[in-house]
Amino acid sequence: MGGRLRYSIYGNNLKNCFQNSLAAGRALAGDSGKPESVAASYATENLGDDCSQWLREAEAHLQARVAGAKFDFQAAAEEARRQIIERLLDDAEQELGSDSTIAERIAHILGDDGQNFVAVEAGDFVDEIGLTDLAKAAGAAIEAAYRQPDSNDLIPCPVASVPHGGYIRYLFNDGSAIVEQVGYAWDIEEKEPFSWSTA
């Protein structure tokens, strides 16, 4: 099982963890009640050892703060998101084998479904993790182009201004690439730049 169904557990567990972190922070700041355990609200085998260790350290940090101290939840969410992306890529490499390409691993994370752009859906504390996030984390060089009307020529353009139906190419350092047609789908690149393997 791949894609968002498989990895939705990451977002759900993080939501519970941060809710408990918030309760702990309020308690440490002087609100009534005792700090709740950050680590008690998730299953370690689901979230992964690296993420769970980071959350345990976050809990220790909270409990060590004096009353009124602030906890940077935005930074915590960003760090947790980074670790989730790293874990997704590592899991894909283990499942497909070290001889798999980076493009194949990212495709695997997305369920090998060219119309699915989301690996982990957005939650209350962690933003959505999608194709672009995975590609950037894997070190992709990103370029864009579009085809002129009545022509097959590709015209390079800035990624930020690629038009609907244009192409974004995520090129990885192992030579593999994923090509997205903006507004439509993505696929692993064929031999020619900006081409699809299933085209």
Residue recorded with tokens 């874990």:
87
Regarding whether 102 and 32 lie in a shared domain, the answer is yes
Is position 195 within any domain?
Answer: no
Is position 199 within any domain?
Answer: no
Task: Point out the domain boundary residue: 103, 119, 134.
Answer: 134
Averaged pLDDT for residues 19-38: 49
Regarding whether 87 and 18 lie in a shared domain, the answer is yes
Instruction: Assign 32 a pLDDT band (cuts: 50, 70, 90).
Output: very low
Is position 86 within any domain?
Answer: yes
Number of domains in the chain: 2
Regarding whether 145 and 124 lie in a shared domain, the answer is no
Q: What is the predicted pLDDT for the residue at 18?
A: 56
Regarding whether 125 and 50 lie in a shared domain, the answer is yes
Regarding whether 108 and 64 lie in a shared domain, the answer is yes
Is position 152 within any domain?
Answer: yes
Averaged pLDDT for residues 12-36: 51
Regarding pTM above 0.85, the answer is no
Regarding whether 160 and 118 lie in a shared domain, the answer is no
Regarding whether 128 and 59 lie in a shared domain, the answer is yes
From the centroid of its chain, how far is CA 196?
A: 23
Task: Point out the domain boundary residue: 134, 154, 170.
Answer: 134
From the centroid of its chain, how far is CA 84?
A: 6
Quote the domain boundaries for residue 156: 139-188
Regarding whether 20 and 106 lie in a shared domain, the answer is yes
39-75 per-position pLDDT tens digit? 443 333 444 555 656 666 666 666 655 445 566 777 7
Regarding whether 42 and 58 lie in a shared domain, the answer is yes
Is position 69 within any domain?
Answer: yes
d(CA 35, CA 154): 58
